Every structure is written in C-alpha cells, then in structure tokens.
Amino acid sequence: MHELSVCRALLQQVTDIAEEHHAEEIKVIRLKIGPLAGIENELLLRAFPLVAHGTAAQHATLEITSMPVTILCQDCEEKSDVEINRLTCPHCNSSATQLISGDEMMLDSVILGQQSGAEERYVH
Amino acid sequence: MCTDCGCNNNRPHTVYNDGENIIHTPHSDPLSVEVHSQLLSQNNQQASLNRSLLEQHNITAINLMSSPGAGKTSLLERTIDELKGEYCIAVIEGDLETENDAARIRAKGVSAIQITTGNACHLDATMVNNALQQIDLEAVDLLFIENVGNLVCPASFDLGQHHNITLLSTPEGDDKPAKYPVIFRAAELMLITKCDLLPLLDDFNPQQATHYFRAVSGNRPIIQLSSKNGSGIDAWCAWLKDACSQKLTSL
C-alpha cells in the first residue's frame, strides 16, 4: 500500500502550491497516472482523504486521468496501444519499442479557491 | 449592491465581524495552476542527492528487488564470498522487522545497515540516505541495497541506485513478469534464482519466464543461477564487475 506514501508526497506538493498563491483551499487536484506507474487509482482515491484531513486540500476533488499504455516501435515505427504486460510491437513483433505513455505519475494541475492576503479588505 | 450586508462591493466576498468592525474579504476567482510535476518529485530529488553522494565516493549501487523469500540474502552471501577479495562491499538491508538479514551479512565480514521499515512496504530515498550516513563511504566501492521483499511497491521509488535488478525464484512460477510487469520492467537484469530446484518443479519453464520478461523488458539480460550450488554465479559476478568498471570509466 505505497499509495499512502504517494498521497503524502502529493499533499506536500499541493499545499506548497496553495501557500505560494496565498490560497486558503484547494478545490481540484488533477493527476495523470499510467498503469505502469504501479499505482492503484482506487487506493489513491481512498487514501487521499486520510492524509488531507485538516489541510487546505481536505475538500479537494481528486481527478485522475488514466493514461493508455502506448509504445513506438523502433523497427517498423508504428505507434500502438498495448497491454501492460505486452510491450512488444503488435505489428512486427519487435521488442525494440519505446514507451511513449503509460508510466506517468504526474501532478498535472490544481484549482485553488479563495485567495487570502493578496487582495484588499473592506472595513466598514 | 451586496445582498449579504448592503455594501457596494459587487464581487463575492466573505463578511465577518471581528468584534469592532464588519470585515469584508473579497473572493477571487478560482485559480487554475498548471504543475506538470512528478508526484514523487521530492523522493526523486533525494535519490539524485544520494546518487551524487555515491558518485563522489566512486561507489556502484545495486538495488535488489524481489518477492519475500526469493533468495536475495543468500545471493548476497554467495556474492560476498566471490567478490570480497576484489571489492569493498557494504549492504543496506530493508525489512519490515528484525536484524536477521543484516546479521547474516555481517557474519561474512561485511558491514550491513539494517533499515526496519515497520509497516512500510518499500524503501525510499530518505531511508537510504539515513543508512548512507552510517556507512564509511570512503571504505566502500560496491553497495547493495536489498529492498523490502515485495513485487509491487519498491519499483516506484528511486533510491539513488545505479542499477535495478529483479530476482525471480523458480518456486514462484514462470509467469511473474506477466503478473507484475511494473517491477520487471524496472529491472535492467533479471536473475532467475534457485535454479537447483528446476528438476523438482514442473511449473517453471525458464524459456517461458524469458518470454514473459522479454514482453515487458525488451532484450535486457537474464542470468539463471543457484546460490546453493553456485551455477550461474560466475556470470552474475562478471555482470557486476562490468557494472563497476563502467561506473569508473563514466566518472
């Protein structure tokens, strides 16, 4: 269950970003995860609220885009979407392939809520 | 006009009373920030620092990954016997509990630092850094990091090693690379261990294991060996010597 470690690292990054932008809350966190990253999206979704509790990210929605496993064959130069455990070229059977998508473990973007401090306050 | 308090501020805002004044804090629009960074960037940065530290001391670091009981420690004992005269070896041992493995390595006259991870299923770059601080790096040229026995989690964490090696022991079955592609894809060398048991096993075909490994790892090398009867150990030691000499020429 290394998803908990991944969530802690994620939380650190997003709370740093929120602080940098003087934001009080993080509304949305968008991730891109490929199946070869070795992360179970379902577990990540379940672990995140546990680590985010009491932080600016506690009400954040975690949006995960699952990336396809795509290879580029270095012999026939065909691009193909393949199974996670079959990274050989389905066209020419070559094993000289390059993974062009599928191992992402990326924080893509965040949407921050109310900003504090940056703007003036009105006093009546 | 604001419907909350009747002020002239048309922007959405929070109104609260601090005891003396009514304070209006305007809301700004939600801000979208593009990040595009690795989720484990902090671990990766620490791993890079570890790698630099190792390189300052001309150390080649090998990360051994496998399921529990695949024979990592036995392989290290055998490897130490073979290479102790040529290389100054140190070992970082990762286990959930006990110092047993470190004690086995120390009995071979090699320094071993045990990391007990408690309930953590993998080593990370910070744990390895803590262990590195306990080793006299000047006196080491080949460092083995024996990761926690687990075919899932260790693959996602860079430790600062120069080479990742995954062991597949024959009793586990030949289809493990197809079942756990992430960790076998991370390996630049697969070691098929406990090959002395092959005559007793009817469900492990080394060609089938090779086929599954090739499907995730291309043409990376495979060595079949037995720490018990010594078969294949020469090829493994030759691979290690090559890794160490490549390291030296690249520095």
* A95 contacts B31? CB cut-off 8 A: no
Residue B24 lies in a domain: no
Strands in A79-81's sheet, in edge-to-edge order, are A79-81, A70-73, A97-101
Residues within 8 A of A (CB atoms), B 8-37 only: 9, 13-14, 21-28, 30-37
The whole-angstrom distance between A86's CA and the closest CA on chain B is: 5
Q: What distance in Å separates the CA atoms of residue B135 and residue B206, rounded to the nearest whole number?
A: 38
Residue B27 lies in a domain: no
Residue B120 lies in a domain: yes
Confidence at residue A118, expressed as pLDDT on a 0 to 100 scale = 44
Determine contact: B214 vs chain A, CB below 8 A.
yes
ipTM of the complex: 0.84
Residue B163 lies in a domain: yes
CA count, 13 A, side-chain hemisphere, B93: 24
Among B38, B153, B178, the residue with its CB nearest the CB of A2 is B153
Residue B229 lies in a domain: yes
For A81, the enclosing helix (H) or strand (E) is strand A79-81
pLDDT tens digits, B101-146: 999 999 999 999 999 888 788 999 999 999 999 999 999 999 999 9
Q: What is the CATH number of the domain that holds B150?
A: 3.40.50.300
Structure-model confidence comparison of residues B249 and B133, the more confident one: B133
pLDDT band of B46, cuts 50, 70, 90: very high
**Tokens read off for B99:** 């110092």
Is residue B82 within 8 A of residue B167, CB to CB? The reply is no
Residue B17 lies in a domain: no
Residue B102 lies in a domain: yes
Taking contacts as CB-CB distances below 8 angstroms, the residues of chain B near A59 are: none
Three-state DSSP at A107 gives strand
In chain B, the number of structural domains is 1
Q: What distance in Å separates the CA atoms of residue B170 and residue B106, rounded to the nearest whole number?
A: 27
pLDDT band of B13, cuts 50, 70, 90: low
Task: Tell me which residue range forms the domain holding B74.
Answer: 58-250
List B190's β-bridge partners, or say none: B166, B222
Q: What distance in Å separates the CA atoms of residue B244 and residue B142, rounded to the nearest whole number?
A: 7
* A9 contacts B22? CB cut-off 8 A: no
pLDDT tens digits, B200-242: 999 999 999 999 999 999 999 999 999 999 999 999 999 999 9
pLDDT tens digits, B163-202: 999 999 999 999 999 999 999 999 999 999 999 999 999 9
